[in-house]
Structure 1
Amino acid sequence: MAEEIKILSFLSEFRASANSLLSKYEPLALVLIPIFSLFIARLFQSAIVGVQENGLKSSLIASFMYIIKLVPGVRSYLDAEKQKVVDKLQSGNKSKREGWRTQLPTAGLGNRVLELMEEEKRKDVAWQGKCSGTVYIGGTESEGHFSLINEACSMFAHTNPLHLDVFQSVVHYEAEVVAMTAALLGRKASGDQICGNMTSGGTESILLAVKSSRDYMRTKKGIQNPEMIIPVSAHSAYDKAAQYFKIKLRRVPVNNEFQADVKAIRRCMNKNTILIVGSAPGFPHGIIDPIKELGQLAMRFGVCLHVDLCLGGFVLPFARKLGYPIPPFDFSVQGVTSISADVHKYGLAPKGTSVVLYRNHEIRKHQFVAVTEWSGGLYVSPTIAGSRSGGLIAGAWAAMMSLGEEGYLENTRRIMEASKKIQEGIKGIPELFIVGKPDMTIVAFASDKLDIFEVNDIMSSKGWHLNALQRPNSLHICVTLQHVPVVDDFLRDLQESVKTVKENPGPISGGLAPIYGAAGRMPDRVMVQELLVNFMDSSC
């Protein structure tokens, strides 16, 4: 949250400078446009692609800003203004970093390091029961579950599945975690030999699925200029994959139900399409995309379909067994070629554990990297990481085995009931409305009567940490076991916050509402991207 505040502050301050710059240079730019006729052809081509991906308005603004930056002195002015804000923000970081160690102690501290760590841990925000998502273990049994997975991790902390001939135990555990997850996600119904690996999290699982799909489609169809199509609700990990693996990304709007628009995806498909994407559910609004229809589309065009089940993998199978109307979402849908599912979310495993699954070995083999010409010997690795923590694998196995099907069913019952109660409570607040129809345990809500980000500011002052969303402006809470005993508290605080904003419109001192608004109104998204990169580069 602190980093988010700084970034948004950065955007807000720079927006004023950018507007001033545009006002100052716009007449000059219009005069100088003919001078840059050599650039028109490239701009025209980029604009066509931009319109397809980002819309006409954004593309025109991007093209205009490109020309503006060619005016002598403008680029240096922009860089200087950006650096001013970065330096101002980093001044706060510098004060926090005072006293941080920059080298090893001369003499080791021994067990005293544990005391220092306990002292540092006390500075963390009180997260119990008030964070959206974040910590998924909760309830009276949480202490016992924490102890169990911590002991399992500690027992195998020294192991590394890269050395599969040495640490056969964790290789065994990984295979069983993958197999048990595949059994939950339609292995039997599909009739295929579902296979996969454990990864460090949902992002790595998605990255591997995209890379494997790219290479598989190159082998199958000879595609050399790969493209993938995602709805705007899809996770940002796909943007990262597109940059890492040189894949053109086509982003399409969602439909009126905030689901992936199958017709819009169909219109974007061409001979270079390798992959389309669906989520079950999507992170912003907790809504399951029409996976069955996407599967039919993927089969019709002979492309891959990845389903992001990072949030839903350890909820939806059990919610269906409990009688909830869950639409098709897994390998039982023909056309689904890969799935990502996080064990460290609702699987209640230690952080850093996810699973990537493939319909068959023919696709999965493209995930691996094999090196034959290294002087260090023959090398093959299944995931992005070479060495991996066997302790985390053991912790995930312990979590799944200790809970079993009955444990997951009971957890799902509790969090689904809590999310439904939150939905009903929000519906009882006239100024708010639910965004779409949530299928799972994420509840997004907005308002057409007051500033929802001001509501978020008041909720933050009460200790709640919600997720702020855009397009539309809204908030969401990802319900976990932590929230089950505090649902009434949440709804009471939310109702009071809405009342406060309604009676006293206008952002509170130090709040994020004006910053979110400024970031949302900033037209040049390329500039926003540059600002984010500059800020991150200065923060590390």
Structure 2
Amino acid sequence: MDAAAVEDARWRDGKTMSLVFDPGEEIAAFTKQAYTRFFSENALNPSAFPSLRRFENEVVAMTAQLLGGDRRVVGTMTSGGSESILLAVKAARDWAAAERRVRGVPQIVLPRSAHPAFPKACSYFGLEPVFVPVREDFRADPLAMRRTITSRTILVVGSAPAYPQGVVDPIDEIADLARRNGLWCHVDACVGGFMLPFVRELGWPVPPFDFSVPGVVSMSADLHKYGYSAKGASVVLFRDARRRRYSFYAFTDWPGGIYASSTMTGTRPGGAIAAAWAVMQHLGRDGYRSITREVMDATQEIRRGVAEIEGVEVLGEPHMSVLALGSRSLDIYAVGDELTARGWHIDRQQRPASLHLTVQRGHVGRTQAFLTDLRAAVGAVGHEPGRRWLERSALAVTGAALRMLPGRVTRALTLGAASRMGIGEGGSLPARSAPMYGMMASLPNRGDLKELVLDALDRMTRLDDT
């Protein structure tokens, strides 16, 4: 197993800018002890393990208090942010069916920056997602959302913050829009739920985003992110018990007995619930506030360092420790490739092209190492203008040709080129992403891109022939 992990992202070295939230050895050891204590327990049946029922209820209550909720706010622990969002959308759908009686396919209105779990929920639950462009500052546009609302709209969405650029949407305006139109408003605080309250307490400006805003009906917040708990642990909160009831499922006609579930899953690992409760008790508000101060200081070091590097910039005005790096003069994907070659795991983003950074406690004390490698990466890209120009020119010509040729021809050419670049059936994953992302951006048919991504996912989830 140790040998198999050699090629994994180097998160213990602080070189992974997503996926892992490292609380440090002391907290991690404590959390593992809590998790393994309840390693075998199953939270499917709350009556069998009253300890887990207590832990979950107290985690929900503490989270609700942190996010501006009163005693009426209730919730459920889930396996992660996607499940929390799925439950909220499912609840909104069933609420609308019972109380709004929408004719036709119900719609949800969401900013283009909203998490893909929302269109995923639409795909699962037979809903229609309606995407709205964001403003120039990357925040949601409430005026555009208002113009998009129809008689079939049931839900509007805001993020705190939106993952791509780390900005908090104008939740007060979105929630007011929902309230005046009798709609459900969900705030996705999966990333910021256990960070933004303490950022605000430390004096940083944070727009209103939680249950203190009238009109907010539900929220999602991940404990396994800035709550520094074990995966997978998230919370979905509802303004009151009546709303939460729409997220439940019960089947009473099974020969095996009465089946009831508060989540999408059946079996739920007790360890994740116990670890979340333990780490919240262990750290308390003071502990989270102290970690937040460290993380925000590290984030500011990165922002100051980026400002001194010609050719790269932070996009927008992030409200916490999630940010994106873009460039007006360099191929930012090529910069990302150079960072990857230096051991960093950094996500690539599109529209606009950028590199994504999630700064967390594991990066405290390692910001200068990142900035040193970022300067070197920018310098390396800047010293190869000829190769970059040829790549961009080839992609521009390819995009123009694909838009002019018949659909069947473009698909054949796209699949062939993708295979040679390591995308789709028959290819190996590419070592460098700049050409791959450039080709993806040039595709006129997004359906082709979807098929390529599904092919790649299929390939990655098979055993090698050998």
TM range, normalised to the smaller chain? Answer: 0.7 to 0.9
Q: How does 1:129-144 map to 2 (within 5 A)?
A: 129-138=14-23, 142-144=24-26
Q: Calculate the TM-score normalised by the size of structure 2.
A: 0.87
In 1, are the aligned partners of 2:216 and 2:239 still within 8 Å (CA)? yes
Is 1:149 aligned to residue 41 of structure 2? no
Q: 1:531: Cα distance to partner?
A: 2.3
Q: How does 1:121-132 map to 2 (within 5 A)?
A: 121-128=5-12, 129-132=14-17
Amino acid at match of 2:143: K
Residue equivalent to 1:81: none
In 1, are the aligned partners of 2:189 and 2:219 still within 8 Å (CA)? yes
Change (3 A) 1:204 1:319: same
Residue equivalent to 1:216: 95
Is 1:161 aligned to residue 40 of structure 2? no
Say what the alpha-carbon RMSD is for the aligned residues: 1.5
SS in 2 for 1:367: coil
The range that moved more, 417-426 or 238-247, is 417-426
Amino acid at match of 1:364: R
Q: 1:135: Cα distance to partner?
A: 2.0
Q: 1:127: Cα distance to partner?
A: 2.0
Say which structure is richer in helix: 1
Residue equivalent to 1:401: 281
Specify the structure having the higher radius of gyration (Cα): 1
Is 1:441 aligned to residue 325 of structure 2? no
Distance in structure 2 (CA, Å) of the matches to 1:537 and 1:122: 23
Residue equivalent to 2:119: 239
Q: 1:539: Cα distance to partner?
A: 4.0
Deviation readout 1:385-432 (Å, 9 max, x if unpaired): 111011110011111111111110000001111111211111111211
Amino acid at match of 2:28: F
Residue equivalent to 1:262: 142
Residue equivalent to 1:373: 253
Residue equivalent to 2:69: 187
Q: 1:443: Cα distance to partner?
A: 1.9
Change (3 A) 1:118 1:537: closer
SS in 2 for 1:485: coil
SS in 2 for 1:250: strand
Distance in structure 1 (CA, Å) of the matches to 2:459 and 2:15: 31
Distance in structure 1 (CA, Å) of the matches to 2:448 and 2:4: 37
Residue equivalent to 1:450: 330
Is 1:303 aligned to residue 183 of structure 2? yes
In 2, are the aligned partners of 1:157 and 1:390 still within 8 Å (CA)? yes
Segments of 4+ moved more than 6 angstroms: none
Distance in structure 1 (CA, Å) of the matches to 2:433 and 2:124: 32
Is 1:170 aligned to residue 91 of structure 2? no
The range that moved more, 501-510 or 484-493, is 501-510
Distance in structure 1 (CA, Å) of the matches to 2:458 and 2:381: 36
SS in 2 for 1:357: strand
Alignment match of 2:77 (pick from 169, 182, 198): 198
Change (3 A) 1:534 1:123: closer
Residue equivalent to 2:269: 389
Change (3 A) 1:432 1:119: closer
Residue equivalent to 1:471: 351
Q: 1:137: Cα distance to partner?
A: 1.9
Deviation readout 1:31-73 (Å, 9 max, x if unpaired): xxxxxxxxxxxxxxxxxxxxxxxxxxxxxxxxxxxxxxxxxxx
Q: 1:119: Cα distance to partner?
A: 4.0
In 2, are the aligned partners of 1:162 and 1:381 still within 8 Å (CA)? yes
In 2, are the aligned partners of 1:133 and 1:480 still within 8 Å (CA)? no
SS in 1 for 2:311: coil
Q: How does 1:288-367 map to 2 (within 5 A)?
A: 288-367=168-247
Distance in structure 1 (CA, Å) of the matches to 2:114 and 2:53: 32
Deviation readout 1:6-25 (Å, 9 max, x if unpaired): xxxxxxxxxxxxxxxxxxxx
